[in-house]
Amino acid sequence: MLLGLLLFCTVARANCKAGNTPSANGQTCVPNADQCEDPLTTAGCATCTGTGSAQTCLTCSSSKKVRPDKKGCIASCPPSVTTENSGVCECTPGNKPSSDGTTCVPNADQCEDPLTTAGCATCTGTGSAQTCLTCSSSKKVRPDKKGCIASCPPSVTTENSGVCECTPGNKPSSDGTTCVPNADQCEDPLTTAGCATCTGTGSAQTCLTCSSSKKVRPDKKGCIASCPPSVTTENSGVCECTPGNKPSSDGTTCVPNADQCEDPLTTAGCATCTGTGSAQTCLTCSSSKKVRPDKKGCIASCPPSVTTENSGVCECTPGNKPSSDGTTCVPNADQCEDPLTTAGCATCTGTGSAQTCLTCSSSKKVRPDKKGCIASCPPSVTTENSGVCECTPGNKPSSDGTTCVSETACNTPNCKTCDNPKTDNEICTECNDGDYLTPTKQCTQSCGAIGSYYDGDKACEPCDPSCAGCTTKGPAKCTLCPPGKRLQYTNDDPNQGGSCVDECKAEVDGCAECGAVIGGTKYCSKCKEDKWAPQNGVCANSVTRNSFCTNAAGGVCTQCAADHFLQDGGCYKLGRQPGIQICTLADSNGGCQTCANSLQPNDGACPSCHSTCKTCSTADSSDKCTSCAAGYYMVGSGPNTCISCDSNSGSVKGVAGCMSCAPPPNNQGSVVCYLINDSGSTNKSSGLSTGAIAGISVAVVVVVGGLVGFLCWWFLCRGKA
C-alpha cells in the first residue's frame, strides 16, 4: 500500500511540464524557481523561471528591479514608460521593452483605419486611441497625430523627427492639420481688463483678443484703445514692441530695453544695451560718441556718405551694410534683381534702377557701366580690376555699357557736343545717345521727369499747355494734370493719355461730397445715390459699380474689387491716374499693399510723406526723404532733407526760378537746372543754363547797339540830306 502511494507521487511529479514542479499539496504544478543560469545570473537575477534562452528573471539578488524584458536587473524602473509590480518593471500600455531591455519604447504596431488611409506607416496603440508615429512618404505627422500632411505649418508648429508639434500656447485645430491658439476662458484680472480670449491659467495667463475693437496691450495683460506709434507694431490686433523695446511697467506702451551692458560692449564704450551675451547690442554711448553701425561699440562720429545719424546711432544708408570691424559701412552685395540677373550678374549692390553689378555668375567680367557682364574687358579703353572692367582715364562707358568711349570735352553732364566747351558760356547742343536736351540746354534721360514735356527727337518737346505731363503733343494726350484738373482718359489704354477737365464740384455729376484730394485736385468721396460709388474720383452708377466695388452703401464703397484699392470712400484702379500717385499694388481685401511713396500702408491706407519728398522713410518728416518732389534736390543719399531748386545747401548753389533740378556733379557748384519759370510763366523755348544766359546777354547787347547806331544815322545823316 505504502509502496503504491510512493509510486503514484513519483508519477505525479513526473507529469509536470518542464520548468514547473508540483505544488505543496501535490494537486497542481507551479513555476520551478530554480537556480538562474547565465546570462541571467550575471545580470543580477536571484530567482528565475524556465530554462535556456526561454528563462526569465523573477526577482533580483539585491534591491534592484527586474528590467522590462525580464532578462536582468536595473537600479530602478524608468518613469513615465513603466510601472513597478512586486519589484518587476512592466511597460505601460502602448509601449514595449527596448532592444537592450532596460527601458520601454512606443509599440509601433500595424496601423488601423482611419490612420492607414490617412497615410500613417507606423502607429502606437489601438482603436480610437491609436496615434501616428511615422508617415509612409516624405510627409509629416500632423499636429493631432491622426494622419499626415505635406509640411509642418510655419509659426504655429515645430518639426521634431518628422512630427509637427504645436508651439507653446497653441493646440491642434479641429481638423488636426494645423495649430490654433489655446484660447481658454479668461480669468480675472484679464476679464476685467477687457480680454475676450486668453491662453494659459493663473498668473501665466495672457490675453489673445479683446472684447471690443480695442487692441491687446504690449504686456498681453489687458486691452488699450490703440497701439502706441513708433514703439509698437500691430499684428492681428496685438500691440507688439518694436526691436530694442520692451513692455513698460504698466504694460500699456513700450520703452527701451536698456539692460546693463556686458563685455565687450562695456569696454567698447556702450552706456545702455539690449539683449544678452553675443546677441547684446549697444543703444547709447557713455560719452558724446556715436553707436557704430554694427551696434557693438562706439565711434567718434558717423562716417559721411555711407551712414546717417539717428538719435546718436550710425545707420548704414540703403545699399550698404556694416563693415567687418563694424566702424563704417560697405556695399551690401545682395541678390541681384532683373535686368541685372538676366544680364549675368551674380552679386549686386543697391536696389531698383540704382542697383549695380559686383561679380558675374561665370568667368565673364562686369562691364564698364556695371549693369551686366561681358566675355572680356575691351583692350586699350579699359583695365580689369578684380573681374570688373573700368574705363581708362579720358574714357567713359558707352551708351550700351559694353565698352568705353572718349569723354566729351563738355562740362554739362551727359552732353555729347557743345558750344564754348569748358567755359562759363558753355551751351550743350546735343546729348549722349539715350538722353534728351532740355529747354535749359541740360541733358536728361526722361523729359517727363522735368515737367510738362515729352521725349522728342533727341530733345524735350513741350506738352499741350493744359497738361502737366503727356505722351506726345495735343490736348488729348495728357498723362498728368495740373492741380485743380483731373485726367479723363480717351479710352481703356492709359498709355494713350486723355484730356484735363475740371476737378470735382459738389452736386455735379451725381457727387454729394468732394472730400478726396490727390495731387492738389479734388475728387468725389461720396455719391448722392445710395448704391452708387466713386471710381477714380468720379461717381459710377449701381450697374458699373459692381465691376469695381464689392460692398457699397450710402454713396460710398467699403470694399473694392481686384486691381483697385479703397481711398476716401471710393475705389481707385491701379496703373491709372490719380490712384497711381498713391498706390502701386493692392492686397486681396481691396486695400493698398505697396504705397507709391515707399511707406508701409496702415490698415490698407497709405500715410503721406512731407510735401518736399517724393518717397520717404518716415511719414510727414522733412528730413526723412529718400527722393525729392519736383522742384527740389537732395545732397547725398537719403533719408535726408530736400532743398528747393532755387535755394543753396552747403557747396551747392540754387538757381533762381528753377522748377526742376538735380544736384551738380560731386555736389559742387550750381544745381543742374532742367526748367526755369521766367516771371511766372515757364520758359519753354530758350535754354537758360549759365552759359546760355551769358550768350543771350551778349546777343542782346549787339542787337540793341546796332539798332541805336541805325537810328542815329537815320535821324542825323538822313536829316542833313
Rounded to 10 degrees, what is the CA torsion of 244, 249, 250, 254? -10
- Side-chain-facing half-sphere of 432: CA atoms under 13 Å: 20
Read off the pLDDT band of 714 (50, 70, 90): very low
CB-based contact 216:186 (threshold 8 Å): no
Per cent of the chain over pLDDT 90 is: 55
Distance CA 694, CA 682 (A): 19
pLDDT (0 to 100) of residue 625: 92
At 702, the amino acid letter reads: V
Report the pLDDT averaged over residues 395-399: 83
Lowest mean pLDDT among 88-92, 162-166, 395-399, 611-615: 395-399
Summary mean pLDDT of the chain: 86
pLDDT (0 to 100) of residue 688: 41
Query: Which tens digits make up the pLDDT trace of 259-297?
Result: 678 889 988 999 888 877 888 899 999 889 999 999 999
By three-state DSSP, how is residue 53 classified? helix
Distance CA 401, CA 391 (A): 11
Does position 165 have pLDDT exceeding 60, yes or no? yes
CA 106 to chain centre: 44
At 181, the amino acid letter reads: P
Q: Which three cell numbers stand for residue 13?
A: 511529479
Report the pLDDT averaged over residues 703-714: 49
Question: Could you say which DSSP state residue 520 is in?
Answer: T
- Output phi, psi for 719, to 5 deg: -65, -40
Query: Which tens digits make up the pLDDT trace of 559-583?
Result: 999 999 999 999 999 999 999 999 9
Distance CA 2, CA 25 (A): 18
CB-based contact 432:415 (threshold 8 Å): yes
pLDDT (0 to 100) of residue 690: 42
At 413, the amino acid letter reads: P
- Output phi, psi for 416, to 5 deg: -90, -50
Read off the pLDDT band of 211 (50, 70, 90): confident
> How far, in Å, are 162, 240, 666 from residue 159 at the CA level?
6, 26, 55
Report the pLDDT averaged over residues 157-180: 88
- Output phi, psi for 612, to 5 deg: -85, -10
Q: Which three cell numbers stand for residue 411?
A: 562740362
In terms of Cβ atoms closer than 10 Å to its own Cβ (0-12, 13-18, 19+), residue 242 is: exposed
> How far, in Å, are 491, 712, 717 from residue 720 at the CA level?
72, 12, 5
Helix (H) or strand (E) run with residue 693 in it: helix 690-712
pLDDT (0 to 100) of residue 84: 92
Dihedral sign of CA atoms 476, 481, 484, 486 in order: positive
pLDDT (0 to 100) of residue 710: 54
Q: Kindly give, in sequence order, each residue whose CB lies less than 8 Å from that of residue 714, ignoring residues fewer than 6 positions away.
A: none
Does position 418 have pLDDT exceeding 70, yes or no? yes
Distance CA 93, CA 111 (A): 16
Does position 335 have pLDDT exceeding 80, yes or no? no
Query: Which tens digits make up the pLDDT trace of 36-87?
Result: 999 999 999 999 999 999 999 999 988 999 999 999 999 999 998 899 999 9
Query: Which tens digits make up the pLDDT trace of 87-136?
Result: 999 988 767 888 899 998 876 567 888 998 899 988 888 788 889 999 98
Terminal CA-to-CA distance of the chain, rounded, Å? 192
Lowest mean pLDDT among 3-12, 158-167, 423-432: 3-12
Distance CA 342, CA 584 (A): 24
CB-based contact 186:211 (threshold 8 Å): no
pLDDT (0 to 100) of residue 708: 46
Q: What DSSP line would sit under 110-126, residue for residue?
A: ---TTTTTTTEEEEES-
Read off the pLDDT band of 709 (50, 70, 90): low
In terms of Cβ atoms closer than 10 Å to its own Cβ (0-12, 13-18, 19+), residue 704 is: exposed
Dihedral sign of CA atoms 349, 355, 360, 361 in order: positive
Helix (H) or strand (E) run with residue 134 in it: strand 131-135
CB-based contact 416:432 (threshold 8 Å): yes
Of 456, 452, 488, the residue nearest 469 (C-alpha): 452
Rounded to 10 degrees, what is the CA torsion of 542, 547, 552, 555? -50
Does position 9 have pLDDT exceeding 90, yes or no? no
Does position 717 have pLDDT exceeding 80, yes or no? no
Distance CA 157, CA 146 (A): 16
At 680, the amino acid letter reads: G
From the DSSP assignment, how many helices (H) and strands (E) are in the chain?
Answer: 4, 75
By three-state DSSP, how is residue 426 classified? coil
Query: Which tens digits make up the pLDDT trace of 440-482?
Result: 999 999 999 888 899 999 999 999 999 999 999 999 999 999 9
Does position 689 have pLDDT exceeding 70, yes or no? no
Domain ranges for the chain: 27-104, 108-180, 195-256, 270-331, 334-397
By three-state DSSP, how is residue 198 classified? strand
pLDDT (0 to 100) of residue 678: 65
pLDDT (0 to 100) of residue 12: 44
In terms of Cβ atoms closer than 10 Å to its own Cβ (0-12, 13-18, 19+), residue 77 is: buried
Q: Kindly give, in sequence order, each residue whose CB lies less than 8 Å from that of residue 591, ignoring residues fewer than 6 positions away.
A: 560, 565, 566, 601, 603, 604, 605
Q: Kindly give, in sequence order, each residue whose CB lies less than 8 Å from that of residue 439, ignoring residues fewer than 6 positions away.
A: 453, 460, 462, 674, 675, 676, 683, 684, 685, 686, 687, 688
Report the pLDDT averaged over residues 176-202: 84
Q: Kindly give, in sequence order, each residue whose CB lies less than 8 Å from that of residue 533, ignoring residues fewer than 6 positions away.
A: 527, 539, 540, 545, 548, 549, 552, 555, 556, 557, 569, 570, 571
At 699, the amino acid letter reads: A
Sequence-distant contacts of 223-227: CB under 8 A, at least 24 apart? 223/193, 223/194, 223/195, 224/252
pLDDT (0 to 100) of residue 373: 95
By three-state DSSP, how is residue 162 classified? coil
pLDDT (0 to 100) of residue 184: 66
Q: Which three cell numbers stand for residue 211?
A: 472684447
Which residues are registered as beta bridge partners of 330? 321
CB-based contact 409:422 (threshold 8 Å): yes
Question: Could you say which DSSP state residue 611 is in?
Answer: T
The arrangement of strands across the sheet holding 672-678 comes to 658-662, 672-678, 681-682
pLDDT (0 to 100) of residue 702: 39
Q: Kindly give, in sequence order, each residue whose CB lies less than 8 Å from that of residue 408, ignoring residues fewer than 6 positions away.
A: 415, 416, 417, 418, 421, 432
Choice between 110 and 524, residue whose per-residue pLDDT is larger? 524
CB-based contact 545:532 (threshold 8 Å): yes
- Output phi, psi for 128, to 5 deg: -70, -20
pLDDT (0 to 100) of residue 342: 84
